[in-house]
Structure 1
Amino acid sequence: MTVGSWRLKIRHQTGFSYAGAVASSYNEARMSPRNEARQAVLEARVEVWPSARTYRYEDYWGTVVTAFDVHSAHDTLRVTAISTVETLGPGDQLTATDGVGWADLRGPECADRWYELLLPTPRTALDEELTGLAESVRAARPTPHAAALALCEQVRDEVAYASGTTGVQTDAVHAWRQRKGVCQDISHLVVGLLRTIGIPARYVSGYLHPAPDATIGDSVVGQSHAWVEWWVGRWTAFDPTNGIPVGERHVVVGRGREYGDVPPLKGVYAGPANTGQGVEVTITRLR
């Protein structure tokens, strides 16, 4: 066993309630962790009610999607994802002076390779104030990596984490102006700031165990979480909401340009109005 590794079991249940019987629905769930360098998936299954045949595929961004259609009448849709994942600590971290330089990021090779991760999106677009902030940080830092760390610190200093203050449609500018938001907002802000100064950046969706000193065997209320990655010769993962490198408490589910690329559950249906969505995440440290 690698020193600093954890084993986490995650149970994520979500779904929709409707005002009456829905005739049919067509859905996609992005709730299954990925196998990659710092995490190994030991178990991953998705259960659907009403019962439906599911099939899995990887989308454009490499996220595992569980797709399913429900053609029996239903007034509730419930999706439960259960996974067990072995995670590693942050590993080798870049210092503030490491990574490629500003000239390297301005080159055509970088722009062509990461074009989609340099463009603003509806949730990450900035106003004049935020663009000016990003440029001032860039001018004062010798390397892109140093600027990225400084922007994370600035956003964390200025924007308070406040559960329930925003929704999934909130954009970076709104969160900045009210100076509070949730992890999605903070991540959208950082991604937008990085892109506007030419640093390729992506939004990461996953889970976070809330306790650094978690007791083995105890189940706790966890949370869906979001953080960022930026490219400075290699991808670097950082959690700006908590001001820490991504480590053993983090489990990656998917990546994209913003939240719209990685929602845990989305779909279309024929029938009466959606009356609400419930979410419950339980995380247990197994070792």
Structure 2
Amino acid sequence: MSVDSWRLRIQHKSGFEYAGQVSSSYNEARMWPRNEARQAVLDARVEVWPPARTYRYEDYWGTVVTAFDVHAKHAELTVTATSTVETLPPGDLLDAGEGSTWEALERAESVDRWYELRLPTQRTGLDEELAGIVADIRAAHATPHAAALAVCEFVRGEVTYQPGATGVQSDALHAWAQRKGVCQDISHLTVGMLREMGLPARYVSGYLHPKPSAGIGESVVGQSHAWVEWWVGRWTAFDPTNGCPVGERHVVVGRGREYGDVPPLKGVYAGPKSTGQVVEVTITRLR
């Protein structure tokens, strides 16, 4: 990693509380950062309480999954993921006029290769109004990359980021109708518009250090975060919530079609109803 890199320690604690004793549960956690070109995982572990044996695998989309079963009776379940990751600045960014042409994206080989990432999903589907806006944005830009950047600018200008405005089950249309949402909603809307335009697009989950001028050794309340990537001859990452390329403050955990492919923690269990979910993220810049 270069001298411009950041080193981040992330602790992500998540879990469920129940109205009584649960007899057994079967769970998947997607809280283990990715090793890839712009980030290196120096250390990572996932701990479970009540104690359980865990095993890891990569899912269909390439996200690391920590799976585990708990068969001891428990009234709450806690998963704590701790990782140290070195990240890089955005680096070699495409200019608006660079990347694939519209014609290249419409060729059969491109459509077939990225078929699943061009289709709408439950959370990214659009209505006629949005489809019309997408058509206008596409017509106004000579290249797919320029149009994609324009979509990000449009969504950020129209939808206000407001924590607590929606829940994990919300979708792009809900956020559009109320013109507010969280990073998940803004990313779903952006992904939906990119796909409507004919671009393969991915939903990315991870973490964001909230302070661009973070002090070394200072622990802050961080956040699970979401952003987008689109294909224009290569994958390009952008954070539409913050209106910036993905850089040293971002840590990738998973990718998929939408949130449903990358939830940090999900599972099934036998017992009384869940009374709530606890989520805490702490991020410390080490370098």
How far 1:116 sits from its partner (Å)? 0.2
* Aligned AA (1:240): P
Q: Number of residues paired by the alignment?
A: 287
Instruction: Quote the residue 1:115 is aligned against.
Output: 115
Instruction: Quote the residue 1:269 is aligned against.
Output: 269
Instruction: Quote the residue 1:86 is aligned against.
Output: 86
Instruction: Quote the residue 1:179 is aligned against.
Output: 179
Matched, 1:13 2:17: no
Structural mapping, 1:137-286, within 5 Å: 137-286=137-286
- Once the two structures are superposed, residues 69-127 of structure 1 have per-residue CA deviations (whole angstroms, 9 ceiling, x without a partner) of 00010000000000000000000100000001000011001100000000000000000
Alpha-carbon distance between aligned partners in 2 of 1:210 and 1:51, rounded to the nearest angstrom: 32
Matched, 1:63 2:63: yes
Unpaired runs of at least 5, structure 2 = none
Q: CA RMSD in A?
A: 0.5
TM-score w.r.t. structure 2 length?
Answer: 1.00
* Aligned AA (1:89): P
Question: Identity across aligned pairs (percent)?
Answer: 77
- Say which SS state the counterpart of residue 241 (structure 1) adopts: coil
- Say which SS state the counterpart of residue 11 (structure 2) adopts: strand
* Aligned AA (2:116): E
- Once the two structures are superposed, residues 123-176 of structure 1 have per-residue CA deviations (whole angstroms, 9 ceiling, x without a partner) of 000000111111100000000000000000000000000000101110101100
Unpaired runs of at least 5, structure 1 = none
Give the 4+ runs in structure 1 shifted more than 4 A. Answer: none
Alpha-carbon distance between aligned partners in 2 of 1:34 and 1:93, rounded to the nearest angstrom: 21
Alpha-carbon distance between aligned partners in 2 of 1:112 and 1:169, rounded to the nearest angstrom: 29
How far 1:3 sits from its partner (Å)? 3.2
Alpha-carbon distance between aligned partners in 1 of 2:3 and 2:230, rounded to the nearest angstrom: 26
Instruction: Quote the residue 2:97 is aligned against.
Output: 97
- Once the two structures are superposed, residues 33-59 of structure 1 have per-residue CA deviations (whole angstroms, 9 ceiling, x without a partner) of 010000000001000000000000000
Instruction: Quote the residue 1:127 is aligned against.
Output: 127
- Say which SS state the counterpart of residue 263 (structure 2) adopts: coil
Structural mapping, 1:22-33, within 5 Å: 22-33=22-33
Alpha-carbon distance between aligned partners in 2 of 1:95 and 1:199, rounded to the nearest angstrom: 17
How far 1:202 sits from its partner (Å)? 0.2
Alpha-carbon distance between aligned partners in 1 of 2:273 and 2:284, rounded to the nearest angstrom: 35
Alpha-carbon distance between aligned partners in 1 of 2:124 and 2:116, rounded to the nearest angstrom: 13
* Aligned AA (2:19): A
Alpha-carbon distance between aligned partners in 2 of 1:4 and 1:155, rounded to the nearest angstrom: 30
- Once the two structures are superposed, residues 239-283 of structure 1 have per-residue CA deviations (whole angstroms, 9 ceiling, x without a partner) of 000000000000000000000000000000000000000100000
How far 1:4 sits from its partner (Å)? 1.9
Alpha-carbon distance between aligned partners in 2 of 1:272 and 1:242, rounded to the nearest angstrom: 40
- Say which SS state the counterpart of residue 191 (structure 2) adopts: helix
TM-score w.r.t. structure 1 length?
Answer: 1.00
Alpha-carbon distance between aligned partners in 2 of 1:174 and 1:185, rounded to the nearest angstrom: 8
Alpha-carbon distance between aligned partners in 2 of 1:251 and 1:98, rounded to the nearest angstrom: 26
- Say which SS state the counterpart of residue 80 (structure 1) adopts: strand
* Aligned AA (1:25): S
Alpha-carbon distance between aligned partners in 1 of 2:282 and 2:104, rounded to the nearest angstrom: 43
How far 1:197 sits from its partner (Å)? 1.0
Alpha-carbon distance between aligned partners in 2 of 1:206 and 1:157, rounded to the nearest angstrom: 23
